[in-house]
Amino acid sequence: MKKQNRRPCHFCQSGMAPTVTDLVALERFLTDRGKIIGRKRTDICAKHQRLLSREIKRARFLALLPFTGAHV
């Protein structure tokens, strides 16, 4: 089976880890309904995906991000 060439991880390239204070970066990895996008769609390595989900959940708990999208 041939291995796919994947794009490098966004966080590995920049050398920065996701943080609660960087809300713009965290919102990039959420859907319009507030769900966390999977790592296969975002091309993030497993290590940074775990960090990203933890920081998104912390931001939700601190009321910096909503738990769900806007109710229409």
CA distance 62 to 2: 44
Q: What is the pLDDT of residue 6?
A: 73
pLDDT at 52 over 90: yes
Amino acid at 33: R
- Residue 34 · residue 70 · CB < 8 Å: no
Sorted by where each starts, the structural domains of the chain and their CATH numbers stand as: 10-61 (4.10.640.10)
Split at pLDDT 50, 70, 90, the class of 72 is low
CA distance 2 to 8: 18
CA distance 13 to 54: 20
pLDDT at 71 over 80: no
- Residue 23 · residue 64 · CB < 8 Å: yes
pLDDT at 36 over 70: yes
Q: What is the pLDDT of residue 69?
A: 79
Structure tokens of 64?
């910096």
13-28, pLDDT tens digit by residue? 988 888 999 899 899 9
